[in-house]
Structure 1
Amino acid sequence: MQPAGTGTAVEAEIRKFGALAGRWWDPSGPMKPLHRMNPLRTGWIARRIARAHGRVGTDLSGLTLLDVGCGAGLASEAFARMGAQVTGLDAAGDALEAARAHAGAGGLDIAYREGAPEALAAEGATFDAVVALEVIEHVADRAAFLDALRRLAKPGGQVFLSTLNRTARSFLMAKVGAEYVLRMLPVGTHDWRMFVTPGELGAGLRQAGLRVTDLAGMSMDPLTGQWRESKDLGVNYLVMAER
């Protein structure tokens, strides 16, 4: 399948995450924080998708889901195991090769595409749910990106994002602490200036024609490294919106 164009993706960001492809599935490697965060964010999202479609728990069987900025497929595989028909979209070809290999080894049927959401939306593709996890803080044009997510969701469909708030605490914890002190992430993973406040993201979603319906914080226990849902939006948070 042909690439769908890079759109709002920043070339430097594509190269940066593509270079991590070989270690994406290493739970102790540079993507360790995402491995630990993944059960919380995918479970939170799946329960809300299931509820919106009259399902129980995290039953996504038969529902179509687009994972934008899927990388090597951490979230895509989790949703596929819940029964969703998953399409993973990313602009980093190296990460997608790792995603295809890992899904194949696990017997999972996930459609991975190289490109940007704007181009996929231009093709007329739509999905029951669209997710973009830890992506919006890396894009060049937020408004165009959010508009593409809205067009990719079916009428009545759900759009989910997770991202980092732009606060003094997120600078200390997610930038300085995670990259320079604890070495949980490669140096240069994040640009704090690109972090998005809940107010900014909510306004952008509304401008794109989406209605924000749920919001939750994600907090990490520094002793165990485990993540839990919280009311604290000061660093990491999740947003649900509906078309």
Structure 2
Amino acid sequence: MAAPFRSTATACLRRPLIAATRPVLLPRPESHHAAAATRAPSPRWHSTSSSSSTSSSVNPDEVSHFNALAADWWDPHGSSRLLHLMNPLRHDFINACLASQPEPRPSSLTYLDIGCGGGIFAESAARLPSTSRVTAIDPTPSVLAVARAHARKDPGLAAKLSYRQCSVEELDVPTPGYDVVSVFEVIEHIDHPAAFLDKVRPFVRPGGWLVMSTIARTWMSWFTTNLVAEDLLRIVPPGTHDWNKYINEDELRRYFMDKGWNSPRVMGVVYVPGVGWREVRGSEKVGNYFFAVRRDFES
């Protein structure tokens, strides 16, 4: 998430960095949670009551958190440095999804970026010659103001990129939908991920892709994202991530099964200090990863 819908899918990703160190002793994830992390789905996946399916996916606490981080979103060495470093891999992953299609890739693509934050991905997508339109949404006013102000510096973006301050529940579904719907660093900040993904589905056109990034719920991810990144190195603001909201790859696969989706793809990624983000096969089982599915044509 971006922003209030958003999080990191890249643990340290979407959330900003601050450089400083201080030793801190943190409570560990409850042992029964850790033991069950790779065995059973989080109870949140069963939260599909009528109330959760009709209410907003936006968490007010997340909005407040990201409002406070808006100022240096576009500083490549500031609090969002890891997001800037991750952005090329986002495009690599989307290109791999599109290249896997049996039919020719569309010559002109439309994007919906949910939880766009300051617009790092949305702007880069709009600059691609193969892009016809990018709609980017986020409920965090200060962060979205930063995104709009930065986009105005490039008049060439005006015809291809539009920002809206809203949640996905407030957005009209176009016909036939978008070619690519991105949900980067968002879903691990959602209280009811299954209900949220149900709402996102209509925005993906039949044959289009839903791409996202998030974090596996393991001891390793708690150690790297909560203890090291947030509390020891302070490269991510404390309180950015809730380990209990992390999502394992098998949970996503089970959710999308028999729901009108096909061709699931995954790419595990690891942040290497001094080098950047790199694809590492199998790392989706322990930490940050990308995940994508394609909507069935008949759905």
Is this a same-fold pair by TM over 0.5?
Answer: yes
Contact 1:214 1:240 in 2 (8 A): yes
The aligned residue for residue 226 of structure 1 is 276
Q: Tell me which of the two structures has the higher relative contact order, counting C-alpha pairs closer than 8 angstroms and 6 or more residues apart.
A: 2
Tell me the distance in 1 between the aligned counterparts of 2:175 and 2:55.
17
How many angstroms apart in 2 are the aligned matches of 1:97 and 1:16?
15
- Whole-Å Cα distance in 2 between the matches of residues 105 and 37 of structure 1? 23
Matched, 1:236 2:288: yes
Q: 1:122 to 1:73 in 2, by over 3 A?
A: same
Q: With structure 1 as the length reference, what TM-score do the two structures score?
A: 0.88
Match of 2:13 in 1: none
Q: Distance in 2 between matches of 1:182 and 1:116?
A: 32
* Offset, 1:106: 2.5
Q: Which residue does 2:140 correspond to in 1?
A: 92
Whether the aligned pair in 2 keeps the contact of 1:18 and 1:93 (CA below 8 Å) is yes
SS of equivalent to 1:188: coil
**Deviations along 1:164-219, whole A, 9 cap, x unmatched?**
11110000001111111221111111111111011112222336532352111011
Whether the aligned pair in 1 keeps the contact of 2:217 and 2:246 (CA below 8 Å) is: yes
3-state DSSP class of the match of 1:26? Answer: coil
Give every structure 1 segment of 4 or more consecutive aligned residues whose post-TM-superposition deviation is greater than 6 Å: none
Whose Rg is larger? 2
Instruction: Work out the percentage of aligned pairs sharing the same amino acid.
Output: 38
Task: Tell me if structure 2 keeps the 8 A contact 1:49–1:129.
Answer: no
Residues 1:102 and 1:208: Cα distance change in structure 2 (over 3 Å): farther
CA deviation map 1:112-131 (0-9, x unaligned)? 01111133256767211101
Give secondary structure in 2 for the equivalent of 1:64: strand
**Aligned pairs (5 A) from 1:1-243:** 7-49=56-98, 52=101, 54-55=104-105, 62-83=108-129, 84=131, 85-107=133-155, 108-109=157-158, 110-120=161-171, 126-206=177-257, 208-222=259-273, 224-231=274-281, 232-233=283-284, 234-243=286-295
Contact map agreement 1:121 1:148 (CA 8 A) in 2: no
1:61 CA displacement: 5.7
Residues 212 and 116 (structure 1), Cα distance of their counterparts in 2 relative to 1, 3 Å cut = farther
**Number of equivalenced pairs:** 234
Give the C-alpha shift of residue 135 in structure 1.
0.1
Structure 2: segments with no counterpart, 5+ residues = 1-53
Q: Is the 8 A contact 2:115 2:136 kept in 1?
A: yes
Distance, in Å, in 1 between the alignment partners of 2:269 and 2:154 is 28
Q: Distance in 1 between matches of 2:199 and 2:172?
A: 6
| Structure 1 range deviating more: 94-103 or 75-84 | 75-84
RMSD after superposition: 2.1
Offset at 1:163?
0.4
Partner secondary structure for residue 147 of structure 2:
helix
For residues 146 and 7 of structure 1, what CA distance do their matches in structure 2 show?
12
